[in-house]
Amino acid sequence: MLPDDFMVTSFLRLHQELESKWVDKVNEARLNGRLCSWVSTFHPCKLSCRIEGGFLNGSYNLCQRYIFDDGTSLSPVYADENPLGLGPFLLMGFTHGIRLSKNLHDNDIEHVYRQMARFMLELFQINFDKISGIPTPQTGFPAPIRPLTRKSHGILHEGGVDVFGDRNQGFASLNGQPNSALGWHSACEAHASLEVLKSLLPDLVEPNYNHGPFKLICDDFGLGNLIVRSRDDLTVVGVVDLEWVYAGPAQLFASGPWWLLDDRPINEAWDYHNGHPPRVASRYMRRLEMFTTVLKEEEANMLGNEKKELSTLIEWSKTTGAMWPHMILSAGFFDCLLFPCGQLQRHYGFWWWLDMLKGFEDREEVKKFAQRKELDLTRYDMQVDQIEELKFLVECGKLTSEDFAAQTRSVLARKPDDDANA
C-alpha cells in the first residue's frame, strides 16, 4: 500500500532543511565565480566559461549549463567528490532538443517505438556476470553490490523503510511501513498475495537465463526521458535520467515494457476495481502488440541478433504472464489492486487465485502478522497526531524548520516499546 500524503509530506519535510542548505551552498558557488573557475579546469585548454540560465532539475538531480569561450563542449567527466564540497557530479556535453511530447499520433508512436527497440537491442548486447550495482572502474567509487534501484529509493524516501537490511525478513515495505495495511483483512490479503506471488516465481524464471548473463537494467528507461530534435522531427538525440541503472536478470530487461503509454501501470489510475481492469488496459495491450511487432522487424534488420533472443524473451514474458510479476517487482509499494496484480490473477484464473489466497491466509504466521499490523496502524495514527501538532507550531511561527525536522525524526524513530512505556 502507498504511504498517505501526510506521511510523504512529513518525510519530505525532513529532507527540506538539508536540501535547502545544499542549494544555498551551490548558489553561493555560482555567484562568487567558484563554479565557473572549477569547471574551466576540465577544458583541454583551460578556457573560461560562463553560466547559461538557471538551474535545470529533474526529480533526482540538479543541472547547470556552462558555455566556454570557444563554444566547445566536454567529453563526460565523472567523480564522486569535488573541491567545492558539493558532492558527486557528472560533467558532459549539452544535448540540444526538446522533451518528447506525451500527445503523439499512432504513426509517430511507431517511429518512436522503432528507436526504442533499437536502443534495447543494443543494450541487450551488454553482459554482466552477476547481479549488482554498476562497477566504477574510472573513479573507484565504492558502489554497493546490492544496487540502489528506483524501487528501494522510493520505499525509503516515501515510506521511511530501509530495504537494505536482512533479506531473510522478507516483504520489507509491508513489514516496516506502519500503515501498509488498513486492518486485519487488508493485512492478511496483502501478505497472502505476496506469498502467492513468491510461490509462482520458480515457474516464471526462464531457465536458460537463470544464471546469467545478466543485463543492464534501467528502472526509468521510458518515453518520458527521451530528448528529440523538435516537435516535427522525433529523432531521438538523447536518453536521460539513467541514474537507476544496475546489472539484473535478462528476464527483467526483456519483459513487456511498462512505458508504452508513457505512464507506469503501477500508478493508482490503473488500479483494478471490483475485479475489472481500467479502461486504459485495452489501449496498453494494443500498444504492446505494436511494440513487439516493431521489435521483431528491427531485430531482423540488425546484425548480431540472429538468435532473436530479445523478442523471444519478451514473447515468453507475455505468454507465461511473467511480465506482470516483473512490473510488480518494480513497484515501490504493493497493493492487491495494482493493475499487474489484477492481470496476473486473470492469467491464472480468479478462482485459482482465491483458493491460493485462502491457503496462505489460514496460516498462523499470517494471522500473527495481521495482529501486529493492527498495532502498527494504531501507533501510526498516534504519530500522525503528534506530527500534526508539530506542523501547527511551525505554521504559527513557534517552531523552526530545524526543530520540526529533529522532533519529527524523533517521533518516527520511536519503537513500539517506547510508546508502551510512555
pLDDT tens, position by position, 92-103: 778 888 889 877
pTM metric for this prediction: 0.82
Separation between Cα atoms, residue 123 and residue 134, nearest integer Å: 14
Average pLDDT of every residue of the chain? 84
Q: Which of 60, 94, 128 is the last residue of a domain?
A: 94
Measuring CA to CA, which residue among 219, 249, 216 is closest to residue 316? Answer: 249
Is 86 in the same domain as 179?
no
Is 188 in the same domain as 250?
yes
Is 337 in the same domain as 191?
yes
Is 70 in the same domain as 210?
no
State which residues form the domain around 299: 106-361
Residue 14 has pLDDT above 70, yes or no: no
Is 128 in the same domain as 203?
yes
Is 142 in the same domain as 49?
no
Task: Examine residue 243 and state whether it is found in any structural domain, yes or no.
Answer: yes
For residue 67, report the phi and psi dihedrals to the nearest 5 degrees. -120, 125
pLDDT of residue 263: 92
What pLDDT, in 10s, does the model give residues 337-363?
899 999 999 999 999 999 999 998 888
Residue 141 has pLDDT above 80, yes or no: no
- Helix, strand, or coil here: 94? coil
> How many structural domains compose the chain?
2
Is 204 in the same domain as 128?
yes
Task: Examine residue 22 and state whether it is found in any structural domain, yes or no.
Answer: no
Which stretch, 26-35, 254-263, 332-341, 393-402, has highest mean pLDDT?
Answer: 254-263
Separation between Cα atoms, residue 61 and residue 123, nearest integer Å: 24
pLDDT of residue 249: 92
What pLDDT, in 10s, does the model give residues 280-332?
999 999 999 999 999 999 999 998 888 899 999 999 999 999 999 999 888 77
- Helix, strand, or coil here: 89? strand
Residue 82 has pLDDT above 80, yes or no: no
Cβ proximity of 124 and 214 under 8 Å: no
Task: Examine residue 394 and state whether it is found in any structural domain, yes or no.
Answer: no
- Helix, strand, or coil here: 64? strand
Tell me what the mean pLDDT of segment 359-373 comes to.
88
Cell numbers for 137: 572502474
Percent of the chain with pLDDT over 90: 32
Is 136 in the same domain as 90?
no
Separation between Cα atoms, residue 350 and residue 361, nearest integer Å: 16
Cell numbers for 28: 553561493
Task: Examine residue 182 and state whether it is found in any structural domain, yes or no.
Answer: yes
Is 42 in the same domain as 176?
no
What pLDDT, in 10s, does the model give residues 179-210?
778 888 888 888 888 889 889 888 888 888 88
Cell numbers for 308: 532473436
pLDDT of residue 13: 59
What pLDDT, in 10s, does the model give residues 398-411?
888 778 878 887 88
Contacts of 152 (CB under 8 A, 6+ apart): 163, 164
> Identity (one letter) of the amino acid at 395?
E
Is 131 in the same domain as 254?
yes
Is 172 in the same domain as 60?
no
Give the number of other Cβ atoms within 10 Å of residue 143's Cβ: 16
Look at 145 and 356; give whichever has higher pLDDT: 356
Q: Would you state the torsion angle of the CA atoms of residues 407, 9, 22, 71, taken in this order, to the nearest 10 degrees?
A: 180
Is 111 in the same domain as 222?
yes
Q: Which CATH number covers residue 354?
A: 3.90.1200
Separation between Cα atoms, residue 135 and residue 147, nearest integer Å: 10
Separation between Cα atoms, residue 211 and residue 208, nearest integer Å: 8
Residue given cell 531457465 in the structure block = 207
Cβ proximity of 252 and 217 under 8 Å: yes
